[in-house]
């Protein structure tokens, strides 16, 4: 059934949330599918946006009579609405719904007014009525008739009464103290029982609808005799209050009436009058004798004032009755705890959400009335949240500060709703709010610099260590990748030296490192997360190459000359501790691997020589004895302190002599320092010997040629004795058949041993150069006397290039044993 529809749209803004109220009217019993109004148009929205914004149509009472068609946005009838069933006797029947829209969050209230139609006929709950009227009653006597009830409202529920025609009775409307009316049967003419003992009338009730509806009840009048006094109540109206939770049997009030008649006509019985509404009859119980009115059933919520009528009737043969009104006010008791309803919850919430972001929308309600129904909400949480009242009983849960997922990833937010009763009742509800991760953390290394060590001679691909950066973010935001920054260090690109594994940060070597060439370098590794945009940081890695003992000591002095063994002249007059020479060596390694120690491995006479373990100075261990062999050999081993240690050796040849020998003896025969020669070494030795003999032959030929040119040197007194060389005056000497000149220049002094740069020439013109280089004094003497020429030592002239007479004197002393 169609009806008029009226839509009124009211909008207002409260606490940052958009709220609106829509009102519609529809007649009850409207058929299914009928559109009441268009919600989308009234909200100035398109029908398609309802679904996109997660539209919800909620009823606080769980009522499903109306709904919203998402396709058209219209409010339609889902089930025919029965106003009497939904609202009972209320004058206005309003159904309240809530519309919730998201993105942004909006809440609207919808009030649907269900209009009454005349679909209920009046009826008499008490059924047929019977009166016993004594015949002696005079005209004008009144008898209360039962009221009819019509569930409709307004004019549809407005009743009018009519009585079937009768000569003895008429119908009149009486009024109570509260202004309500009720039908009364009025005696118009005295009754005569003998003429007619029973009268049957029909009482009709009609409503004001179009068309009007009616209901009837039969009124039976039995004419009796005697008993002419009706009971009289002490008060016409009784008032009382009772809490809504009053249990059964609670005494509400005690009514009392009196009847002046005697006997059974004065005995009174109490009961509920037929004028009491049928739905209230089961709430009360009246004791027939003492008039106590008790609670017979739960009185329900304290909505309105309950009105009942108590009848007092005597027990005479022709009983008379009177009624009194009972008004019961049901007072509210704080027996309902508040209800907290979660309308929306945005979880998880991003950790970079701004302060004031709405997380949840709540509604609270309390079925109690007055202060007992006033609800206050509070929030308790360890996180930055606050509760803000929106409008009415609606609250918004907002952020009240920054969120950090790395510190707290989930919050338990406790919402407490308390009413104003005494004692107050409260309800708690816990909301779980999760915090969503954003890429707000940069990968961090434990230190800005990291040191790694690798032993030299490593294999390419060897693991050097790893770098690690921590990113507390989740998922891709916390996934760290590593990259080598190709910078130039120690003249080389880092990418040519090392490699970094991107997922793990493991560092491996690309080449084999040599400590002697590269002792260390630095490079940078970047750690970058997988977020968008990505965040990164760098660490500087200092890689140090650790030395290994992979280099044997190298002899710097003395050096072998053309394969010949260095020869040191040791005077037989040398004292104990006499410095013979110093072995100088170096080791390319470092640290303990380069610490060198010297010891004598083999010697012709082990008791004659000793060597300083740290300095390498070879000295005499005792006095030289006449019985000691002229030729002495010592094998000195130079050993480092590596693990395992490496060593090298040098063979030193010493000549024990009281004076400088003219010809150096052969030190190569008759003594071996090692084992048997290998085949390769044997061939090499033979080849070197052949070359040496050939060279010496050429040299002898050249020297002989020069000597023949200077044959008259000694006859012309060109040769000088050692004394002349030392003191600068001529000393008589034998004529020199040949002569030689040695030019000396001091180069370096090693302890007490001088190193000279010298050259030897034959003849006075000094044009024939026989040798040139850096030699010790003993070497010069050996060379001068061991060239294989017949040049007496007395015919050798020593000449100082720089005028250093001390050096000349030293040479003279060495050559001539002075």
Q: Which of 709, 100, 621, 12 is nearest to 358 (CA)?
A: 100
> Residue 796: what pLDDT?
52
On average, the pLDDT of the chain sits at: 78
**Sheet arrangement for strand 385-389:** 339-345, 358-365, 394-399, 385-389
* pLDDT at residue 659, as a whole number: 65
SS3 815: helix
Average pLDDT (253-257) is 93
> For 140-154, 182-196, 440-454, 745-759, which range has the lowest pLDDT when averaged over its residues?
745-759
For 640-651, what is each residue's pLDDT tens digit?
Answer: 888 888 899 888
Spell out the residues 6+ positions from residue 134 whose beta carbon is closer than 8 angstroms to its own: 223, 224, 225, 226, 227, 228, 318
Identify which of 97-101, 316-320, 560-564 has the greatest average pLDDT.
97-101
Predicted confidence band at 782 (pLDDT cuts at 50, 70, 90)? low
pLDDT of residue 681: 63
Query: Would you say residue 746 has pLDDT above 50?
Result: no
CA pair distance 413, 342, nearest whole angstrom = 13
Contacts 24+ apart (CB under 8 A), 624-627: 624/570, 624/571, 624/572, 624/573, 624/574, 624/656, 626/572
Q: What is the structure's pLDDT at 303? A: 66
| Span 356-379, average pLDDT | 87
Helix H segments across 315-425?
none
CATH number of 554-657: 2.60.40.60
pLDDT at 539: 93
User: Other C-beta atoms within 10 Å of 797: how many?
Assistant: 19
Rounded Cα distance between 306 and 684, Å, is 139
**pTM of the complete model:** 0.45
Least confident of 229-233, 506-510, 718-722: 718-722
Three-state DSSP state, 30: coil
Confidence of residue 528 (pLDDT cuts 50, 70, 90): very high
Within 10 Å of residue 29's Cβ, how many Cβ atoms? 16
Q: Could you say which of 2.60.40.60, 1.10.150.130, 3.10.129.10, 3.40.50.620 is the CATH number of the domain covering 129-224? A: 2.60.40.60
Q: What is the mean pLDDT of residues 771-778?
A: 47
Q: Give the mean model confidence (pLDDT) for residues 351-375.
A: 87
Identify the residue with better confidence: 406 or 526: 526
Query: Is the model more confident about 413 or about 50?
Result: 413
CATH assignment of 339-436?
Answer: 2.60.40.60
**Dist CA 716 CA 723 (whole Å):** 18
User: Which helix (DSSP H) or strand (DSSP E) does residue 697 occupy?
Assistant: helix 679-709
| Helix, strand, coil distribution of the chain in percent, nearest 5 | 15, 40, 45
Residue 406 has pLDDT above 90, yes or no: no
Q: Has residue 65 got a pLDDT over 60?
A: yes
> Does residue 388 surpass a pLDDT of 80?
yes
Residue carrying structure tokens 């059933």:
297
Lowest mean pLDDT among 142-156, 499-513, 634-648: 142-156
- Is the pLDDT confidence value at 630 over 50? yes
Which stretch of 169-178, 573-582, 768-777 has the lowest confidence by average pLDDT?
768-777
Sign of CA dihedral 506, 509, 515, 521: negative
516 or 661, which is more confident: 516
27: DSSP letter: E
In the chain, the percentage of residues whose pLDDT exceeds 90 is 19
Q: Has residue 666 got a pLDDT over 70?
A: no
Question: What architecture is the 232-331 domain classified under in CATH?
Answer: Sandwich (2.60)
The confidence band for 661, taking pLDDT boundaries of 50, 70 and 90, is low
Confidence of residue 679 (pLDDT cuts 50, 70, 90): low
Structure confidence at residue 206 (pLDDT): 86
Of the listed ranges 11-20, 471-480, 585-594, 677-686, the one predicted with least confidence: 11-20
Question: pLDDT tier at 19 (50, 70, 90 boundaries)?
Answer: low
pLDDT at 256: 93
**Neighbouring C-beta atoms of residue 564, cutoff 10 Å:** 16
For residue 564, the Cα-to-chain-centroid distance in whole angstroms is 78
DSSP 8-state secondary structure symbol assigned to residue 776: E
CB 254 within 8 A of CB 284: no
Residue 293 has what pLDDT? 94
Give pLDDT, residue 20. 66
Question: Taking a C-beta distance cutoff of 8 angstroms, is the pair 229, 259 a contact?
Answer: yes
Asked if the domains at 26-115 and 129-224 fall in one CATH topology, the answer is yes
**Predicted pLDDT of residue 211:** 83
For 449-546, CATH gives: 2.60.40.60
- Residue 714 clears pLDDT 70, i.e. is over it: no
Tell me what pLDDT residue 531 has. Answer: 87
How do the domains of the chain map onto residue ranges?
Answer: 26-115, 129-224, 232-331, 339-436, 449-546, 554-657
Closest among 703, 722, 688 to 818, alpha carbons compared? 722
Range list of β-strands (E), 127-213 = 129-134, 142-144, 160-163, 169-175, 181-187, 198-206
pLDDT per position as a tens digit, 438-478 = 888 889 999 989 999 988 888 898 998 999 999 998 888 88
Q: What pLDDT sits at residue 807?
A: 46
**What pLDDT does residue 251 have?**
92
686: pLDDT strictly greater than 70: yes
* Number of CB atoms found within 10 A of residue 392's CB: 13
Please give the average per-residue pLDDT across 387-410, as a whole number.
Answer: 88
DSSP run (H or E) holding 40? helix 39-42
Better-scored residue on pLDDT, 65 or 599: 599
- Give pLDDT tens digits for 427-437: 999 999 999 88
Tokens of 524: 């940078």
pLDDT at 725 over 80: no
Mean pLDDT of all residues in 660-664: 52
Q: Provide, rounded to the nearest whole percent, the portion of the chain with pLDDT above 70.
A: 79
Q: Which one of 107-116, 406-415, 547-556, 730-739 scores highest in mean pLDDT?
A: 406-415
Long-range contacts of 610-617 (CB under 8 A, 24+ apart): 611/583, 611/636, 615/582, 616/582, 616/583, 616/584, 616/585, 617/579, 617/581, 617/582, 617/583, 617/751
Packing angle of the helix pair 777-785, 805-816 (nearest 10 deg): 50
Q: Residues 127-139: pLDDT tens digits?
A: 888 998 887 788 9
Alpha-carbon distance 539 to 629, whole Å? 70
pLDDT value at 233 more than 90:
yes
Task: For 351-470, list the strands marked E by DSSP.
Answer: 358-365, 375-380, 385-389, 394-399, 410-419, 426-436, 449-455, 463-466
* Cβ-proximal residues to 189 (8 Å cutoff; 6+ apart), any chain: 139, 167, 168
**CA-CA distance, 182 to 175, in Å (whole number)?**
6
Instruction: Select 26-115's CATH number: 1.20.120.420, 2.60.40.60, 2.70.70.10, 3.40.50.970.
Output: 2.60.40.60
pLDDT score of 312: 94
Assign 290 a pLDDT band (cuts: 50, 70, 90): very high
Do 137 and 190 contact (CB within 8 A), yes or no?
Answer: yes
Count CB-CB contacts under 10 A for residue 181.
12
Contact 431, 346 (CB under 8 A): no
User: For residue 302, which of 243, 232, 380 has the smallest C-alpha distance?
Assistant: 243
């Amino acid at each position: 059934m169609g009806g008029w529809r009226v839509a009124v749209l009211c909008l207002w803004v409260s606490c940052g949330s958009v709220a609106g109220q829509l009102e519609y009217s529809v007649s009850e019993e409207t058929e299914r599918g009928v559109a009441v109004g268009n919600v989308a148009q009234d909200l100035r929205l398109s029908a398609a946006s309802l679904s996109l914004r997660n539209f919800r149509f909620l009823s606080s009472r769980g009522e499903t009579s109306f709904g919203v068609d998402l396709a058209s946005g219209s409010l339609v009838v889902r089930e025919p609405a029965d106003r009497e069933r939904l609202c009972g006797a209320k004058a206005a029947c309003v159904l309240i719904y809530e519309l919730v829209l998201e993105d942004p969050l909006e809440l609207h209230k919808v009030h649907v007014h269900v209009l009454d139609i005349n679909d209920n006929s009046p009826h008499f709950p008490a059924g047929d009525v019977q009166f016993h009227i004594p015949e002696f009653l005079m005209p004008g006597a009144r008898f209360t008739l039962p009221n009819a009830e019509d569930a409709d409202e307004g004019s549809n529920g407005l009743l009018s009464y009519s009585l079937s025609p009768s000569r003895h009775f008429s119908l009149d409307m009486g009024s109570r103290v509260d202004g309500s009316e009720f039908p009364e049967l009025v005696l118009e003419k005295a009754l005569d029982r003998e003429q007619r003992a029973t009268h049957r009338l029909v009482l009709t009730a009609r409503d004001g609808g179009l068309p009007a509806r009616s209901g009837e009840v039969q009124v039976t009048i039995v004419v009796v005799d005697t008993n002419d006094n009706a009971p009289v109540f002490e008060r016409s109206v009784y008032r009382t209050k009772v809490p809504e939770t009053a249990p059964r049997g609670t005494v509400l009030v005690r009514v009392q009436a009196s009847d002046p008649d005697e006997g059974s006509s004065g005995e009174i019985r109490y009961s509920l009058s037929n004028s009491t509404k049928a739905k209230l009859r089961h709430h009360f119980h009246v004791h027939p004798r003492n008039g106590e009115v008790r609670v017979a059933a739960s009185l329900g919520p304290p909505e309105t004032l309950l009105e009942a009528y108590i009848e007092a009737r005597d027990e005479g043969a022709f009983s008379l009755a009177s009624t009194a009104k009972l008004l019961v006010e049901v007072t509210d008791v704080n027996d309902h705890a508040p209800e907290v309803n979660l309308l929306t919850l945005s979880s998880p919430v991003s950790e970079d959400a701004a302060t004031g972001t709405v997380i949840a929308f709540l509604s609270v309600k309390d079925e109690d009335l007055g202060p007992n129904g006033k609800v206050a909400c509070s929030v308790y949480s360890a996180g930055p949240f606050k509760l803000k009242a929106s409008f009415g009983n609606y609250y918004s849960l907002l952020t009240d500060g920054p969120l950090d997922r790395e510190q707290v990833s989930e919050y338990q937010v406790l919402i407490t709703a308390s009413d104003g009763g005494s004692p107050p009742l409260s309800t708690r509800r816990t909301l779980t709010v999760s915090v969503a991760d954003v890429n707000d953390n940069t990968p961090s290394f434990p230190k800005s610099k990291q040191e790694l060590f690798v032993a030299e001679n490593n294999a390419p691909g060897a693991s050097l260590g790893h770098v690690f950066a921590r990113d507390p973010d989740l998922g891709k935001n916390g996934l760290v990748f590593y990259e080598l920054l190709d910078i130039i260090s120690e003249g080389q690109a880092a990418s040519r030296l090392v490699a970094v594994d991107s997922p793990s940060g493991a560092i491996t070597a690309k080449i084999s490192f040599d400590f002697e060439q590269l002792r260390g370098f630095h490079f940078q590794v970047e750690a970058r997360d997988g977020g968008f945009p990505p965040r990164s940081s760098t660490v500087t890695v200092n890689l140090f190459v650790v030395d290994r003992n992979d280099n044997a000591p190298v002899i710097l002095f003395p050096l072998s000359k053309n394969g010949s063994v260095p020869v040191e002249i040791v005077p037989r007059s040398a004292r104990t501790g006499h410095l013979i020479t110093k072995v100088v060596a170096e080791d390319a390694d470092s640290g303990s691997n380069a610490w060198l120690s010297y010891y004598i491995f083999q010697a012709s006479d082990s008791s004659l020589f000793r060597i300083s373990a740290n300095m390498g100075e070879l000295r005499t261990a005792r006095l030289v004895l006449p019985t000691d062999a002229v030729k002495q050999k010592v094998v000195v081993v130079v050993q480092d302190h590596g693990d395992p240690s490496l060593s090298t050796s040098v063979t030193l040849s010493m000549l024990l002599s009281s004076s400088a020998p003219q010809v150096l003896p052969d030190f190569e025969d008759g003594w071996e320092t090692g084992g048997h020669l290998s085949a390769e070494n044997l061939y090499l030795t033979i080849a070197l010997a052949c070359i040496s003999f050939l060279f010496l032959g050429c040299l002898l030929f050249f020297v002989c040629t020069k000597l023949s040119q200077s044959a008259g040197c000694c006859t012309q007194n060109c040769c000088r004795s050692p004394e002349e060389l030392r003191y600068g005056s001529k000393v008589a000497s034998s004529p020199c058949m040949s002569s030689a000149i040695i030019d000396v220049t001091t180069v370096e002094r090693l302890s007490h041993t001088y190193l000279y740069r010298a050259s030897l020439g034959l003849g006075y013109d000094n044009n024939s150069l026989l040798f040139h280089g850096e030699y010790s004094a003993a070497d010069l003497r050996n060379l001068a006397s061991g060239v294989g020429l017949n040049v007496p030592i007395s015919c050798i002239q020593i000449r100082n290039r720089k005028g250093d007479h001390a050096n000349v004197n030293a040479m003279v002393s060495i050559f001539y044993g002075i």
